[in-house]
Chains A and B, each alone.
Chain A
Amino acid sequence: MSDLAVLPVALPIVGAALAIAVGIRFDRVGWPIAAVVAIGQVAVTATLAWLVATGGRIRYELAGFAPPAGIELVVDGLSAIVALLVAVVAAGVLVYARRAGPRSSAFYAEYLLLLAGLSGMALTGDAFNLYVFLEITGLATYALIASGESGRAAVAALKYLIIGTVGASIYLLGVGYAFIATGTLNMIDLADQLAAVGYDATLVQAAFVLMVGGLAVKTAIYPLHVWQPDAYRFAPDSVSAYVAALVSTVSAYALARTILTVFTVEFLAANPILQTAVVWIAALSVIAGSALAVMQTEVKRMLAYSSVSQFGLVIAAFAIANETAVLGGTIHLVGHAIMKGGLFLAAGVIALSTGARTVDGYRGLARRAPVPAVAFAVLAIAMVGVPPTVGFLGKWNIVLGAVEGGAWVVAPVLVSSALLTLAYFGRLLERMFVAEPLEDTAEAAVAEDTDVAADGGVESADDRPVSLGMIGVVVLAAILAVALGFAGPIFESLLEPTLERVIV
Chain B
Amino acid sequence: MIDALLARYGYVAMVVLLAIGVYVMIRSPNLVKKVIGMNIFQTGIFLFFISSAYVEDGVPAIVGHGGAEATYVSPLPHVLILTAIVVGVSLTAVALSLIVRIYREYGTLEEDTLREVLANE
Contacts and interface: CB of A to CB of B under 8 A. Distances in A.
Contact of A151 (B80, B94, B105): B105
B52 A169 contact: no
Interface size class of A (residues with CB under 8 A): 20 to 34
Nearest to A150: B105
Contacts of B13: none
A96 interface: no
B105 A154 contact: yes
A217 interface: no
A130 B19 CA distance: 25
A368 interface: no
Given A154-B98, A169-B41, A139 B106 contact: no
Interface string B23-35: 0010000010011
Contact of B52 (A128, A151, A162, A179): A179
Given A151-B102, A166-B25, A169-B45, A161 B94 contact: yes
Nearest to A135: B87
B45 A146 contact: no
Contact of A157 (B35, B49, B98): B98
Contacts of A152: 118, 121
B77 A179 contact: yes
Nearest to B96: A158
A157 B102 CA distance: 10
A135 B35 CA distance: 16
B94 A172 contact: no
B94 A142 contact: yes
A131 interface: yes
B98 A169 contact: no
A260 B48 CA distance: 26
B91 A165 contact: yes
B63 to A, nearest CB: 16
B38 interface: yes
A78 to B, nearest CB: 26
Contacts of A180: 52
B35 A162 contact: yes
B40 to A, nearest CB: 11
A166 B38 contact: yes
Contacts of B114: 155
B95 interface: yes
A162 B48 contact: no
B101 A151 contact: yes
A243 to B, nearest CB: 15
Contacts of B22: 166
B90 interface: yes
Contacts of B48: 173, 176
A132 interface: yes
B87 to A, nearest CB: 5
B81 to A, nearest CB: 10
Contact of B102 (A131, A155, A165, A179): A155
B91 A135 contact: yes
A180 B48 CA distance: 10
A128 B94 CA distance: 22
Contact of A172 (B45, B90, B98, B102): B45
A157 B106 CA distance: 15
17 contacts: A135-B90, A138-B91, A139-B94, A154-B101, A155-B102, A155-B118, A158-B99, A158-B102, A161-B91, A161-B94, A161-B95, A165-B91, A166-B22, A166-B25, A169-B41, A176-B45, A176-B48
Interface of B: 22, 25, 31, 34-35, 38, 41-42, 45, 48-49, 52, 77, 80, 83-84, 87, 90-91, 94-95, 98-99, 101-102, 105-106, 114, 118, 121
Closest 3 CB pairs of A and B: A151-B105, A154-B101, A135-B87
Given A157-B98, A161-B94, 14 more contacts: A131-B84, A131-B87, A135-B90, A151-B106, A154-B102, A161-B91, A162-B25, A162-B35, A165-B38, A166-B41, A176-B49, A179-B49, A179-B77, A180-B52
